Amino acid sequence: MAATVTLEPAGRGCWDEPVRIVVRGLAPEQPVTLRASLRDERGALFRAHARYCADAGGELDLTRAPALGGSFAGLEPMGLFWALEPEKPFLRLVKRDVQTPFAVKLEVLDGHELETERILSRAVHERDFLGPGVRREPVRAGRVRATLFLPPGAGPFPGVIDLFGSGGGLCEYRASLLAGHGFAVLALAYFRFEDLPEYLNNMHLEYFEEAVNFMLQHPKVKGPSVGLLGFSKGGDLCLSMASFLKDITATVLINACVANTIAPLHYKDMIIPDLGSDSRKYSITESGLFDLMDIWNNPLEEPYHQSLIPLEKAQGPLLFIVGMDDHNWKSEFYAHLASERLQAHGKDRPQIIYYPGTGHCIDPPYFPPCRASVHAVSGVPIFYGGEPKAHSRAQVDAWQQIQMFFHKHLNGKKSVKLSKM
């Protein structure tokens, strides 16, 4: 009987959904190696492998069988996905075109030697970023440069604005996946895209206010308010939006600062200065990576205090998602600071979820944890932190927590359908 590898769901599924991998037709307790690979849109190769032994019946089910070594060890049903590593160092796996799937090639090799050419079985699993019925609409409205993702159905749907960090451009993969869970999500660019500024110099909150108004005027968006999802620099921008703009009732901040960073922020006749940094305080890891955690000024000290965002003005609840091994900046300290400031102003404490062993770049589930990459603007390799296994678990949990938070505060739902694996 020839070995066969089967996947459930068969053929394809969404990137943020788990897939069950089963190999049948092996000899009892046969040693095999499973190898996964994919190429991104630029042709970069990412690979992972793990060694296993079949059970007494000649079956290998990754939900029951622990990996004996390789790219990971232990019971990790999705390890072949989150353990993918770039062939070229310091490349981060991101999805640039959400309209096409990632094709993940799976191979079953005889024995525990990775170099063997004896391939017992192959399969290709397509991982989509646009779920069934999700619509993608480019947005060029006034100054707003964005993409709107709408779930299937008549709507209207709770609206979320999604902001990424200091790499710039338009990142759609998180918004497209979140839309598959019942939200109208606007992936919003704010620099390094089309006719937007090339660099983060002076930021104007009126641009983001225009994006909020666009969402609330859209017939498929359920008012009277929207939610915000921000990562890194996008996080402090979301915090400023929640503090100064109307019609925002739920804000999720992934490894964000509570001070305005990188560039001064203008709104009407007000300016919040940039927190600033001392580039001489960076350190270099043994691998030659830049560790930036200590370069940022302390917002509690003068003269940097003016950069603090008055988050006590925020209308709705805040959720801070914190990687406790974040080496980009002191996310844990900033979340503590937010809690203390809100309580000092008689406000409820924010919800804070701390993830041990988790670095800066918290992505949707099953993306390989990005411990280091070359920064899109600075061009230098930066260390972001994180222990791969803990980080991958955090990404699964954080994704569910984000959905629960938005469903509760934008949609009035108390529960969300959780991943089975």
Our separate counts of H helices and E strands in the chain read 6, 24
More confident residue, 9 or 209: 209
Indicate whether 361 and 237 sit together in one domain.
Answer: yes
The parent domain of residue 43 ranges over 4-128
The string of pLDDT tens digits covering residues 72-118 is: 999 999 999 999 999 998 999 999 999 999 999 999 999 998 887 79
- What is the structure's pLDDT at 115? 82
Indicate whether 261 and 220 sit together in one domain.
Answer: yes
Determine if the pTM surpasses 0.85.
yes
Residue 171 above 70 pLDDT? yes
Indicate whether 115 and 139 sit together in one domain.
Answer: no
- Is residue 420 assigned to a domain? no
CB neighbours of 2 closer than 8 A, spacing ≥ 6?
A: 25, 120, 121
Indicate whether 305 and 208 sit together in one domain.
Answer: yes
DSSP character at residue 247: S
Domain count along the chain: 2
Let me know: does 353 contact 324? Beta carbons within 8 Å. Answer: no
- Is residue 21 assigned to a domain? yes
Residue with token string 């280091």: 372
When pLDDT is averaged across residues 110-128 and rounded to a whole number, the result is 91
- Is residue 254 assigned to a domain? yes
Least confident of 175-184, 297-306, 377-386: 377-386
- What is the structure's pLDDT at 202? 86
Indicate whether 146 and 122 sit together in one domain.
Answer: no
Residue 403: its H or E element: helix 388-411
Specify the CATH number for the domain of residue 197: 3.40.50.1820
Residue 16 above 70 pLDDT? yes
Indicate whether 161 and 110 sit together in one domain.
Answer: no
Indicate whether 121 and 144 sit together in one domain.
Answer: no
Share of the chain above pLDDT 90, in %: 89
- Is residue 417 assigned to a domain? no
Residue 419 above 60 pLDDT? no
- Is residue 421 assigned to a domain? no
The string of pLDDT tens digits covering residues 326-373 is: 999 999 999 999 999 999 999 999 999 999 999 999 999 999 999 999
Tokens of 210: 């225009």
Tokens of 6: 């089967």
DSSP string, 315-327: SS-EEEEEETT-S
Residue 325 above 90 pLDDT? yes
DSSP string, 162-195: EE--TT-S---HHHHHHHTTT-EEEEE--SSSTT
Specify the CATH number for the domain of residue 52: 2.60.40.2240
Is residue 418 very low, low, confident or very high in pLDDT (cuts 50, 70, 90)? low
When pLDDT is averaged across residues 294-303 and rounded to a whole number, the result is 93
**Catalytic annotation, residues:** 232, 326, 360
- Is residue 419 assigned to a domain? no
CB neighbours of 80 closer than 8 A, spacing ≥ 6?
A: 21, 34, 35, 36, 48, 49, 50, 62, 71, 104, 106
Indicate whether 149 and 36 sit together in one domain.
Answer: no
